[in-house]
Amino acid sequence: MAANAALALNLGEFTEHRAVRECLQWFTREKQWINEAHLQLCRIAAPTFLEQERASWFLEQFRSYGWNASIDRVGNVIAAQGDGPYVALSAHLDTVIAPRNKDEISVDADGRFRGPGVSDNGAGLAALLAVARAWKMCANLPELPLGLLLVANVGEEGEGNLLGMRHLCKQAPLAKKVQSFVVVDGANTDHITTRALGSRRFEVTFTGPGGHSWSDYGVGNPLHALCRAVALFAETRLDGLPKSAINVGLIEGGSSVNSIAQSARAKVDIRSESNQKLDELVDLLAGAVDRGRDLENQRATGAKVTVKLKEIGARPAAALLENAPILQYLRAVDAHLGIRSHLDTSSTDANIPLSLGIPAVAIGAGGVGGGAHTTQEWFRPEGRDLGLKRILLTLLMLMRNAPPTGGGVPPGAGK
């Protein structure tokens, strides 16, 4: 109780500061500007691995707001205030589906945004811009020992495999200067992601000689082998804890109905809250693949099939310590603003810092969104300013109190 009271007092001091009040009021006063910036950035297509145009646009915006900004060697846009150490606010640039043209990003008569990427992660990127522009009112607060780092990063979605965040936390010159991360992903403010959902992704490719479906019948068929492997792996039972999931998300191969395929491939997604369970499921996948190959080759009377199992992505599972200061600060901010939120597990850019022991959370940017990763994605901006105030106050608490490093651990560690 005493700790909660101290946090509330600390937060109260912030909200009474003139510069902070002006910053918070700016988010409400400039709703229209934020909405227009949101729509503008969403109309710049940025599918994973092709974020360059949107990154260049962000670089121009940050610099126009007076930030020292640059693009690093993997494509992240970095804007810094001060020389560090830093608290980082990040949002990913890429989208699963890109708009085919600017008209696909539209606004309904009731003000709802529609189009691919308007929530995930248009909402997060708009928050990054809003904080960047409003920050000049808070930049001169004397009681902030840490600097602020803004990051519009690449490669969060799909086979991007958290490329941008991985570089920032491991190889970038700033890697050792970031003490904590607030990752903004999507819109809704009803959750705080403190557990990083792990995943490993594979491409399974069977190959064979191929041939005519009649005259060459009997040679090993890669499609048949692949289907056997998929069926065997799909029989995996995933009852109980740790919660896990498997999915075959893509199958392709062959050239015509009357041809024996020369190759067939599938992409497999394995997820779990436990890194140990991930390893177990990968072993089961490898066993199913080998069994599918062997069964097809036992049946074949001609040339055999071969198979290659290639890992195309790995995201570590991890968790924020329950008593981590970053979570205490965010909880205090939520209580102050009247936000009701719950802790959840998800796969976000926060996976990387958490797996390295760097305190991190992923939260929504405000407003309400849905239909992520579809062409029917939508975002409603009402209440966005509450989410932006939440982000700003959490950043200020982190920057003022300079929590010690550490706070993320692999699930089960330290317990």
CATH, residue 178: 3.40.630.10
109 and 35, same structural domain? Answer: yes
Query: Comparing C-alpha atoms, which of 157, 182, 84 is closest to residue 392?
Result: 182
In this prediction, residue 413 carries a pLDDT of: 41
Measured from the Cβ of residue 188, the count of other Cβ atoms closer than 10 Å reads 18
User: Is the distance from CB of 400 to CB of 313 less than 8 angstroms?
Assistant: no
Classify residue 219 by its DSSP letter.
Answer: B
Per-residue pLDDT at 213: 96
Last residue of some domain: 315, 335, 365? 315
Nearest of 34, 30, 297 to residue 187 by alpha carbon: 34
User: Is 224 in contact with 291 (CB distance < 8 Å)?
Assistant: no
Same domain, 303 and 338: no
Q: For the chain, how many structural domains are there in total?
A: 2
- In a shared domain, residues 311 and 360: no
Domain-ending residue, one of 315, 343, 371: 315
pLDDT recorded at residue 376: 94
Residues 366, 240, single domain; the answer is no
> How high is the pLDDT of residue 170?
96
Q: Give 5's contacts (C-beta < 8 A, 6+ positions apart).
A: none
Give, for 170, the enclosing helix (H) or strand (E).
Answer: helix 163-170
Residue type, 287: G
pLDDT along the chain (415 residues), means of 10: 60 85 94 98 98 98 96 98 92 96 95 97 98 86 86 96 97 94 97 97 97 96 98 94 96 96 98 96 98 97 97 96 95 96 97 97 97 95 97 94 56 40
The reported pLDDT for the residue numbered 378 is 98
pLDDT of the residue at 402: 64
Residue 11 is predicted with a pLDDT of 84
pLDDT of residue 137: 79
**352, 330 Cβ separation under 8 angstroms:** no
In degrees, rounded to 5, the angle at the alpha carbon of residue 221 between the alpha carbons of residues 218 and 223 is: 150
Q: Are residues 307 and 324 in the same domain?
A: no
- Closest by Cα among 347, 314, 201, 198 to 268: 201
pLDDT at position 47 is: 97
Q: What is the β-pairing status of strands 244-253 and 263-272?
A: antiparallel
Q: Are residues 169 and 211 part of one domain?
A: no
For residues 158 and 226, membership in a common domain is answered with no
The pair of three-digit structure tokens given for residue 8, joined into one six-digit string: 């509330």
- Coil, strand or helix at 53: helix
- Give per-residue burial for 81-106: e unless 16+ CB within 10 Å, then b: bbebbbbbbbbbbbbbbbbeeeebbe
Task: Tell me which residue of 142, 123, 56 sits closest to 385, measured CA to CA.
Answer: 123
Task: Note the pLDDT of residue 37.
Answer: 98
Does the CA dihedral 11-13-14-18 come out positive or negative?
positive
Rounded CA gap, 70 and 76, in Å? 8
Domain-located, residue 414: no
Domain with 352, as residue range(s), is 2-196+317-409
Q: What is the pLDDT of residue 91?
A: 98
CA 24, distance to chain mean position in Å, is 26
Give the residue from 270, 296, 315 where a domain finishes: 315
254 belongs to a structural domain: yes
